[in-house]
Amino acid sequence: MQSGIGHPDGQRRGGRVAYQGAPGSSSHAACLSLRPWDEPVGHRSFQDAMDALRSGACDCALIPVENSTVGEIKPASDLVQRCGFPVVTEVWWPVRFALMGVEGARLSDLRTAESHPVALDQCVASLAQLRLQPVEQYDTGGAAEAVAESGDVTRAAIAPAQAAEVYGLTILKQDVQDRADNRTRFVLLTREGG
């Protein structure tokens, strides 16, 4: 599944890889696992990540373009098609989400669940079952950070489990994605074709 995502000559480069999101997000986790020799550099939007590649601030960009549950991630895939950078490889990455809240929060306290819009779309049935109002944030990791900063026991974040560690949250429910085989296709783009 992960073959081809490394540097073609097998050398560790120690460069910088741009991604959309904050620490603890799915994209951040994918960067750490798939490009462990590179420094992951988070950006607020897909455009910002692409601009970092264009300016030379980053050597490559790892961008999610499709999800097995919700289909094409249109803003990202459109940007990849228009950017002019070569896609040097792609990988399907398993995505699992946890519902997390501040310390002391219980499932019965929760009223809202915050996350990236695409992540919320991957958890529609779970949100309905838990009777939680979805609230869009710019990123899964960013949602966890916002919930942690709020200190509000009625707010939860939907993010990968590692976001709970990053932001000091408590996992209230594991695997809130609607499908067990939920995966996202990431593409790796570079300025230099490798």
Q: Which residues are known catalytic residues?
A: 184, 186
**Which of 27, 150, 31, 42 is CA-nearest to residue 100?**
150
Burial readout 15-33 (b: 16 or more C-beta within 10 A, e: otherwise): ebbbbbbbbbbbbbbbbee
Look at the alpha carbons of 23, 26, 28, 29 in this order and tell me if their dihedral is positive or negative: positive
Strand pairing class (39-43; 98-101): unpaired
